[in-house]
């Protein structure tokens, strides 16, 4: 670890993130195996479609637990838009789609990340609820259960699309982002470029943790 790196996430945040991401990926793969005949070979690899369904259902329960902690942990920072700075960022698309001399400053999460979080949180809850009803239809009306399949498919398409956008922006689309969810540490240059407002807030509140340096006292602005 290089001296001067800034701590972006703690171990628990990374565990929750990867638990959600990996269970989501498994759900997408097993879901495809059940939805389309051309992907039935996925079920064959797992011992048949019946086994595939069990894997999918229990992965869904794991996803639901991870989703609960995700929403509880990040809602305050990533679930609420801050105006006018977030609107200013949206107007220039954060500088991702065209050149922008100066991207408006945002906090720990930019509007794009917030949109991804809200999509996963909202449609994730829909996926869990519809999945449970489909798994245990009980005495629900047949028409309601059929609509659960439609909503489940809609949630799949939405999360699947956002998943790959998030994967791109977390890697080659924004170099330097990936370490935040692998080691938990990022460079000061990356934070200053991508989340300058967050860097200032950490410095002002005394919450900035720099590798190899003692934590600065509250109120120190550097």
pLDDT on residue 162: 84
Residues β-bridged to residue 6: 186, 210
pTM for the complete prediction?
0.85
Sign of the torsion formed by the C-alpha atoms of 201, 77, 207 and 172: negative
* pLDDT score for 1: 65
Ordered alpha helix ranges (H), the chain? 11-35, 41-45, 49-78, 85-91, 111-135, 142-169, 179-182, 188-194, 196-205
CB of 53 closer than 8 Å to CB of 27: no
Give the C-alpha separation, 216 to 72, whole Å: 28
pLDDT (0 to 100) of residue 222: 45
Residue 106 DSSP label:
-
DSSP state of 99: -
Consecutive sets of 10 residues in the chain, 222 residues long: mean pLDDT of each? 86 95 93 86 86 93 96 92 87 78 83 90 94 89 91 90 81 80 91 87 90 62 45
Element spanning 47, H or E: none
Phi, psi (deg, nearest 5) at residue 62: -65, -40
Q: pLDDT value at position 221?
A: 45
Instruction: Identify the CATH homologous superfamily for domain 11-186.
Output: Transmembrane di-heme cytochromes, Chain C (1.20.950.20)
Question: H or E element: which one contains 186?
Answer: strand 185-186
Asked if 16 and 70 count as a contact pair (C-beta separation under 8 A), the reply is: yes
Whether 63 and 128 have beta carbons less than 8 Å apart is answered as yes
Q: pLDDT at position 38, please? A: 86
State the number of CA atoms in the 13 A half-sphere of 66 facing the CB.
Answer: 20
Q: What local confidence, expressed as pLDDT, does residue 64 receive? A: 96
* Domain boundaries along the sequence of the chain: 11-186
């Amino acid at each position: 670890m290089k001296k001067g790196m800034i701590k972006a996430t703690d171990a628990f945040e990374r565990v929750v993130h990867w638990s959600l991401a990996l269970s989501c990926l498994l759900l997408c793969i097993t879901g495809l195996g059940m939805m389309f005949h051309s992907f039935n070979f996925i079920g064959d690899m797992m011992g048949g479609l019946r086994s595939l369904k069990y894997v999918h259902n229990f992965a869904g329960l794991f996803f639901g637990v991870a989703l609960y902690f995700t929403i509880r942990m990040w809602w305050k920072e990533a679930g609420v838009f801050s105006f006018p700075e977030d609107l200013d960022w949206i107007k220039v698309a954060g500088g991702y789609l065209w050149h922008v001399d100066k991207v408006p400053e945002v906090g720990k999460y930019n509007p794009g990340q917030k949109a991804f979080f809200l999509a996963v949180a909202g449609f994730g809850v829909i996926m869990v609820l519809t999945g449970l009803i489909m798994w245990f239809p009980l005495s629900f009306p047949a028409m309601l259960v059929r609509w659960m399949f439609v909503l489940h498919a809609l949630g799949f398409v939405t999360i699947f699309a956002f998943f790959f956008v998030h994967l791109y922006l977390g890697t080659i689309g924004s170099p330097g982002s990936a370490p935040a969810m692998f080691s938990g540490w990022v460079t000061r240059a990356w934070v200053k470029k991508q989340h300058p407002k967050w860097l200032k807030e950490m410095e002002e509140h005394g919450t900035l943790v720099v590798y190899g340096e003692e934590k600065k006292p509250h109120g120190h602005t550097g």
